[in-house]
């Protein structure tokens, strides 16, 4: 990789030693000053708010009473009271079925959507990697779903999936695939399907582009060699292409997975108030802002953060990803 | 022979399906936006009606133009701020070897993985404490959390690939690091800056959660929130025509920009993703 030569190595040798180390010190000092503004900005908008969210999750804060809040320990997470009769009543996040429903929805949504996007993205990437007339048009076309704001795609699809006047029902009826109009976004059986359709439509292009970048790094002569040896193209895909693009594929999958875990806007707009699609982010915001259970919402946000952090750490540990481009 | 034809035909069929599925929803939104009244509730696959009523209604009644202005102001300021902070930081991260650099890059990547909801409570408190609530500044301030790590990351990858000889020559001529950035690297960096700037702009233009939470009046909302909350006289009377017109208005500039810069954008996206 080019990055191995991109930093100037100052090797102190002989008489030039003093001058060079002075130069090195100057560079290091400059680097420090260059980094400070960015680090301060990140500390203010990311570090501090995260710490405050975690702090709030251990208090009884409410929107109207942020500063008079008292620390109540883990009560937002798990708490119990023993009644006179000896019955124990559990409360808090971990005993809340609504929370577990949101966790289930988040996991279900993330796993299904990322799986579909990976498969479809690979198909699209393979198509784009082939040489044919009009490839530029296809690439331009698949960028359109990516460029459309999520809210706009939620609204567009909300209209297409409309039960009375939606074009999707019309097409499906025409081909006899359904026998009555379906209220895609409102019905509890189909709400998640509707969300998945829109998310897959919107995000597959991104997947496809990342996978395509991986495909293009595979040298062409490998395919030629396989073709000369008479290997069937399908076998070439499984035995040659896939193992070679796997690193790129894994990065794309993990990026998407972490992104899918925090989904908010699509669900908030497409299927508002549906318990079938309410994810952790939607639930947490509802508690934070709408229900005035600020501390409880903070606890839910903190849990989501922990889940995502754990996934990231696990991934880095398992995948042994190197982040500095390999020159340490 | 026949087999080859079938193969070619099915390949082009697949291509056609991909293009159709990608483009159709937006085409249908445009189609709907040109319909009004009862025509809206007839299902047509080809253009049959043409009226600008929805566009006129969106642009003249309500505060949609104001919302557009807010979005432009917020997205532009965020991009300028992020690029300014990121260029110098990327120089340090890409060109100077120091202890803890890998860890620092990892932290920056980790921040871009933050679920926005995890900082919502803390940011809400900060925004209120700074007196920014319900102003565009609340959004400019808070959007830094996702634009800055991303721009730093992508610019670092770009800067790493600049040839080391140029920098060595500048050092021999006695150029300070600041001169190297502003006089030597900047002219070479323009394509990268345009790409990252554009991607950051799109991210800020589309953001919803912070915009929904940190603004509370119609006048201060950005476009995504305005479109999400656009409603008719009653809950059951959703003004689909106007929603589609507003959607088309905010999406067309993005689609045009993306199509113009498509090569650059693909490069930028993959630099942010694959090389991680």
Domain locations along chain A: 14-56, 96-292
Asked if A26 and B177 come within 8 Å (Cβ–Cβ), the reply is yes
- Assigned domain for B57 exists: no
Asked if A6 and B94 come within 8 Å (Cβ–Cβ), the reply is yes
Chain A to chain B Cβ contacts (< 8 Å): 310
The answer to whether the CB of B229 falls within 8 A of the CB of B221 is yes
User: Does pLDDT of A137 surpass 80?
Assistant: yes
C-alpha closest to that of A204 among A110, A120, A111, A106: A120
Between residues 80 and 119 of chain A, which touch chain B (CB distance below 8 Å)?
none
Same domain, B40 and B74: no
Q: Express each pLDDT in B146-180 by its tens digit.
A: 899 989 988 888 888 888 888 888 888 888 888 88
Instruction: Return the pLDDT at A272.
Output: 86
Tokens of A44: 């203010």
CATH of residue B104:
1.10.3720.10
Please tell me the least confidently modeled range out of A304-308, B23-27, B164-168.
Answer: B164-168
In the DSSP assignment, the letter for residue A77 is T
- Report in angstroms the alpha-carbon separations of B160 from A1, B107, B191: 10, 18, 15
- Three-state SS sequence of chain B: CHHHHHHHHHHHHHHHHHHHHHHHHHHHHHHHHCCCHHHHHCCCCCCCCCCCHHHHHHHHCCCHHHHHHHHHHHHHHHHHHHHHHHHHHHHHHHHCCCCCHHHHHHHHHHHHHCCHHHHHHHHHHHHHHCCCCCCHHHHHHHHHHHHHHHHHHHHHHHHHCCCHHHHHHHHHCCCCHHHHHHHHHHHHHHHHHHHHHHHHHHHHHHCCHHHHHHCCCHHHCCHHHHHHHCCCCCCCCCCHHHHHHHHHHHHHHHHHHHHHCHHHHHHHHHHHHCCC
What is the three-class DSSP state of A65?
A: strand
Closest residue to A149, CB basis, from B19, B23, B224: B224
In the DSSP assignment, the letter for residue A14 is G
What is the three-class DSSP state of A79?
A: strand
Domain that holds residue B18: 2-51
Same domain, B47 and B67: no
Same domain, B91 and B46: no
A110 CB neighbours in chain B (<8 A) are none
Q: How far is B242 from chain A (nearest CA, A)?
A: 11
Q: Express each pLDDT in A92-120 by its tens digit.
A: 888 888 999 999 999 999 999 999 999 99
Architecture of domain A96-292: Orthogonal Bundle (1.10)
User: Does pLDDT of A323 surpass 60?
Assistant: no
A303 in B contact zone (CB under 8 Å): no
Instruction: Return the pLDDT at A8.
Output: 62
Same domain, B83 and B40: no
Domain count, chain B: 2
Instruction: Return the pLDDT at B142.
Output: 92
The answer to whether the CB of B135 falls within 8 A of the CB of A321 is no
- Assigned domain for B115 exists: yes
Mutate to test the interface with A, among B117, B155, B214, B226 (most CBs of A within 10 A): B117
Average pLDDT (A186-212) is: 91
| Number of other CB atoms surrounding residue A253 within 10 Å | 20
- Assigned domain for B56 exists: no
- Assigned domain for B58 exists: no
Q: Express each pLDDT in B179-206 by its tens digit.
A: 888 888 888 888 888 888 988 998 899 9
Same domain, B37 and B148: no
Same domain, B113 and B47: no
Same domain, B11 and B75: no
Give phi and psi for B131, each to the nearest 5: 70, 25
Instruction: Return the pLDDT at A2.
Output: 41
B273 CB neighbours in chain A (<8 A) are 210, 213, 251-252, 255
User: Does pLDDT of B46 surpass 50?
Assistant: yes
Percent of chain B exceeding pLDDT 70 equals: 96
A162 CB neighbours in chain B (<8 A) are 240
B161 CB neighbours in chain A (<8 A) are 2-3, 6
Domain boundary among B51, B73, B91: B51
Same domain, B80 and B20: no
Same domain, B126 and B205: yes
Q: Express each pLDDT in A2-54 by its tens digit.
A: 444 556 655 555 555 666 677 778 888 888 888 899 999 999 999 999 999 99
Same domain, B82 and B39: no
What is the three-class DSSP state of A81?
A: strand
Same domain, B45 and B78: no
Same domain, B9 and B132: no
B140 contact partners, CB below 8 Å, separation of at least 6? B74, B77, B78, B81
């Amino acid at each position: 990789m080019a990055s191995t030569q991109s930093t100037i190595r100052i090797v102190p040798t002989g008489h030039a030693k003093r001058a060079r180390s002075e130069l090195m010190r100057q560079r290091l000092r400059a680097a420090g000053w260059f980094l400070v503004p960015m680090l301060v900005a990140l500390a203010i908008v990311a570090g501090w708010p995260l710490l405050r969210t975690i702090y709030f999750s251990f208090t009884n804060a409410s929107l109207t009473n942020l500063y008079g809040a008292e620390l109540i320990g883990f009560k937002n997470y798990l708490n119990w009271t023993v009644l006179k009769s000896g019955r124990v009543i559990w409360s808090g996040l971990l005993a809340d079925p609504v929370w577990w429903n949101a966790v289930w929805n988040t996991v279900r949504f993330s796993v299904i959507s990322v799986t579909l996007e990976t498969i479809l993205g690979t198909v699209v990437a393979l198509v784009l990697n082939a040489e044919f007339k009009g490839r530029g048009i296809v690439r331009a076309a698949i960028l359109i779903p990516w460029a459309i704001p999520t809210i706009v795609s939620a609204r567009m699809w909300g209209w297409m999936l409309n039960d009375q006047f939606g074009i999707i029902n019309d097409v499906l009826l025409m081909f006899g695939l359904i026998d009555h109009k379906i209220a895609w976004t409102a019905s509890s059986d189909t709400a998640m399907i509707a969300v998945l359709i829109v998310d897959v439509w919107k995000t597959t292009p991104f997947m496809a582009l990342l996978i395509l970048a991986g495909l293009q790094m595979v040298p062409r002569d490998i395919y030629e060699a396989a073709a000369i040896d008479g290997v069937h193209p399908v076998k070439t895909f499984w035995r040659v292409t896939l193992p070679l693009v796997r690193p790129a594929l894994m990065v794309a999958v993990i990026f998407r997975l972490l992104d899918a875990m925090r989904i908010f806007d699509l669900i908030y707009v497409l299927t508002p108030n549906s318990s079938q699609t309410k994810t952790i982010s939607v639930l947490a915001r509802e508690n934070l802002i709408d229900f005035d259970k600020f501390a409880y919402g903070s606890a839910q946000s903190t849990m989501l953060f922990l889940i995502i952090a754990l996934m990231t750490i696990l991934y880095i540990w398992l995948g042994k990803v190197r982040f500095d481009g390999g020159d340490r | 022979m026949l087999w080859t034809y079938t193969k070619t035909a099915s390949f082009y069929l697949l291509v056609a399906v991909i293009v159709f599925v990608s483009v159709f929803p937006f085409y249908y939104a445009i189609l709907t936006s040109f319909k009004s009244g009862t025509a809206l509730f007839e299902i047509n696959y080809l253009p049959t009606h043409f009226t600008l009523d929805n566009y006129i209604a969106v642009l003249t009644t309500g505060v949609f133009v104001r919302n557009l202005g807010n979005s432009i102001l917020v997205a532009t300021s965020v991009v300028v701020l992020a690029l300014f902070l990121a260029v110098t930081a990327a120089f340090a991260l890409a060109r100077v070897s120091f202890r803890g650099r890998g860890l620092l890059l990892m932290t920056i990547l980790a921040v871009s993985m933050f679920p926005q909801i995890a900082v919502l409570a803390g940011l809400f408190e900060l925004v209120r404490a700074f007196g920014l609530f319900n102003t565009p500044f609340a959004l400019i301030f808070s959007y830094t959390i996702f634009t800055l790590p991303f721009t730093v990351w992508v610019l670092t990858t770009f800067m790493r690939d600049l040839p080391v000889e140029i920098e060595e020559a500048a050092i021999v001529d006695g150029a300070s690091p600041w001169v190297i950035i502003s006089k030597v690297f900047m002219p070479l960096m323009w394509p990268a800056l345009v790409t990252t700037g554009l991607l950051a702009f799109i991210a800020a233009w589309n953001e919803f959660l912070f915009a929904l939470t940190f603004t509370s009046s119609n006048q201060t909302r950005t476009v995504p929130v305005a479109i999400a909350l656009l409603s008719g006289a009653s809950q059951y009377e959703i003004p689909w025509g106007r929603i589609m017109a507003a959607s088309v208005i905010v999406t067309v500039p993005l689609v045009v920009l993306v199509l113009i810069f498509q090569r650059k954008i693909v490069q930028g996206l993959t630099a942010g993703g694959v090389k991680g």
